[in-house]
Amino acid sequence: MRAYQVQSFDTPPSLVDLPLPEPGNSEIRLKIEACGLNFADLLMQKGTYQDTPEPPFVGGLEVAGVVDALGANVTGLQQGDRVAVFGGQGGLAEYGCFPADRAVKLPDSMSFEDAAAFQIAYGTSHVALDYRARMQPGETLLVLGAAGGVGLTAVEIGKLMGATVIACARGPEKLEIAKAAGADHLIDATTEDIREVVKSLGGADVVYDPVGGDQWKAAFRASNPDARLLPIGFASGDVPQIPANHMLVKNLTVIGVYWGGYLKYKPSVVTESMAKLFAWYEEGKLKPHISHSLPLEKTADAMALLKARKSTGKVVITP
């Protein structure tokens, strides 16, 4: 089978031929139909992501496909089932073996591409806004990086939860995508003062930030008393330092969010969130935005789109 493999952190990944893997006792083998890319894939290639395996390894955190083979101890699944899996690695290949207990059966109405674009982005935003921030209807949500993979889902879910959504992104084209997802107010990060605009709109009660850097600082200063701020990631490359004295004065709460972590110590958080999200999808309330769908041999080009921030929503690889 073909796979896009990281052979070392000092050399670019490459397309290689590997033996067809055999599932372990508690695993399924998947014929992979789609793999969603995430900013974490770029970090893993450099060895800087918190869950990076030792090379050589095949990248690709989340996949969708058809169950092709079953381990001896697997129950509840059968060959031919359409499933999505958050495997943490192994998705950028024609086949892959993954823990069976992470497989989620797909609704009949969900395409493989939508499924591969769904779990991490929507799961992160829903767990962040609902379980972590306890956001309430009528509150004001500020979403930074609002046209990106997770940011766009935060706009959608925030609107579904009854928030007034302020979307911040770079340039009119990306802002139009955020507006189509339900944003009430738009901020162009390339030309406008984030702090001043947010304050003019009454301030933010919840901040969703996959960007970090100067945008975090502006959002922090535009937050209302009792606001909750959610650091999701640091696409800017700048991990901000948080002034505890300012948190104290305004009674602010900074809440870390790592969706994948719950799979290790409290999987019910993810399971219950996914059930809600799949129901919303089947009701037509959610629709993944996929700006690029590319074949496996174009994975390097797809990664370049992410790195240059030329994509919106999700980029999907179709082996």
**Are 312 and 240 in the same domain?**
no
Tell me what percent of the chain is helix, strand and coil, each rounded to the nearest 5: 35, 25, 40
| Partners of 294 in the β-ladder | 317
Mean pLDDT across the chain: 95
Domain final residue, candidates 220, 245, 260: 260
Q: Is residue 279 part of a domain?
A: no
What is the pLDDT, as a whole number, of residue 151?
96
What is the pLDDT, as a whole number, of residue 88?
92
CATH number reported for the structural domain that contains residue 87 in this entry: 3.90.180.10
Cβ(234)–Cβ(212) below 8 Å: yes
Instruction: Please state, in angstroms and as integers, the Cα–Cα distance from residue 157 to each residue in 35, 128, 134, 143, 164, following that order.
Output: 22, 10, 13, 11, 11
What is the pLDDT, as a whole number, of residue 161?
98
**Are 114 and 229 in the same domain?**
no
**Are 99 and 42 in the same domain?**
yes
- Segments forming the whole domain that contains residue 140: 120-260
**Are 137 and 239 in the same domain?**
yes
Cβ(259)–Cβ(86) below 8 Å: no
What is the pLDDT, as a whole number, of residue 237?
86
Cβ(32)–Cβ(98) below 8 Å: no
**Are 226 and 126 in the same domain?**
yes
Taken in order 181, 187, 188, 194, the sign of the CA dihedral is negative
**Are 131 and 30 in the same domain?**
no
- Please give the full DSSP string across 114-170, using - where no structure is assigned: HHHTTHHHHHHHHIIIIIIT---TT-EEEESSTTSTTHHHHHHHHHHTT-EEEEEES
Q: Is residue 271 part of a domain?
A: no
More confident residue, 37 or 50: 37
Instruction: Domain count for the chain, please give it.
Output: 2
**Are 147 and 250 in the same domain?**
yes
pTM (2 d.p.) = 0.89
Q: Is residue 278 part of a domain?
A: no
Alpha helices for the chain (secondary structure H): 39-46, 112-116, 119-126, 151-160, 172-180, 194-200, 213-221, 244-250, 259-265, 267-282, 299-307
**Are 9 and 133 in the same domain?**
no
Backbone angles phi, psi at 4, to 5 degrees: -100, 105
Domain final residue, candidates 223, 244, 260: 260
**Are 133 and 196 in the same domain?**
yes
Residue range 5-41, pLDDT digits in tens: 999 999 999 999 999 999 999 999 999 999 999 999 9
Residue range 262-301, pLDDT digits in tens: 988 998 999 899 989 999 999 999 999 999 999 999 999 9
Residue range 170-223, pLDDT digits in tens: 999 999 999 999 999 999 999 999 999 999 999 999 999 999 999 999 999 999
Is the link from the previous residue into 172 a cis peptide, with omega within 30 of 0? no
Please determine, for residue 143, whether its predicted confidence score (pLDDT) is greater than 90: yes
**Are 132 and 95 in the same domain?**
no
CATH number reported for the structural domain that contains residue 236 in this entry: 3.40.50.720
Q: Is residue 201 part of a domain?
A: yes
Please determine, for residue 236, whether its predicted confidence score (pLDDT) is greater than 90: no
Instruction: Record the tokens describing residue 299, joined without a space.
Output: 């994975």
Q: What percent of the chain has pLDDT over 70?
A: 100
**Mean pLDDT value across residues 302-307:** 94
Q: Is residue 283 part of a domain?
A: no
Helix axes 172-180, 151-160, angle to 10 degrees: 30
Domain final residue, candidates 260, 278, 300: 260
C-alpha–C-alpha distance, residues 55 and 239, integer Å: 26
